[in-house]
Amino acid sequence: MKLALFDVDFTLTGKETLIAFYAYLTKKKPALLLHLPKALLSGVLFKAGIQKEKATKEMFLTFLKNTSKEELETQVEGYLKDSLRSFLYEDGLRKVQELKEKGYTIILTSASPEFYILNLKDIFDADYVMGTRFEVKNGYFTGKMIGENNKGIEKVRRLYEMIPEHQIEWKESYMFSDSMSDDPLLKLVGKPYLINYKKKNPKYPVLYWR
């Protein structure tokens, strides 16, 4: 099986999708701006090394705590239609379609929450989509992460949950990412690419998408 693996944020999109989701909801519900200091604090604590990514995401997502599953789905539907589609990279969409037509299995793998990332499956005509899982209990979003943040080596582990390693033709497979945090996957494929990468001396070829 030949894979074409794509990160999402800043690889297929021009913005960080979770922050864009929050910004979209604040326009619908200005009261959510009261959460902004907590959201900013979560980022500061993470960058200072005081808090790990899992706790940081859970802290950020408290603005959705106790949202019903149905309401969350409605919010996501509006976000995809009215916001997210506007900052997708056209070059990324074309590359996905090109590789799909060549018989590659298209996989989107992101650290962003699955409650909206899974909906990109239809937009990109992807075969599989993986994101970070969050708990919905008794019909309501709790904000608690299930398992680990889907980043780095976790993306490899999650991939093997779906597709046995021996079935993958790694030499013929692609991986596209904006970040070296995806090196565990980039180094496995025969065709690794960094997207819009700005640091000097990149380890892999760089493509510039808009």
Smallest CA-to-CA distance from 52 within 127, 111, 117 is with 111
In contact, 193 and 21? CB cutoff 8 Å: no
**pTM, 2 dp:** 0.95
Q: For residue 49, what pLDDT band results from cuts at 50, 70 and 90? A: confident
Q: For residue 47, what pLDDT band results from cuts at 50, 70 and 90? A: confident
Q: For residue range 172-199, list pLDDT tens digits in order.
A: 999 999 999 999 999 999 999 999 999 9
Q: How many CB atoms lie within 10 A of CB 90?
A: 9
- The domain total for the chain is 1
pLDDT of residue 45: 85
68 CB-side CA count, 13 A = 3
CA 37/CA 35 separation, integer angstroms: 6
Q: For residue range 71-104, list pLDDT tens digits in order.
A: 999 999 999 999 999 999 999 999 999 999 999 9
Domain hosting residue 61, numbered range: 3-207
CATH number at residue 125: 3.40.50.1000
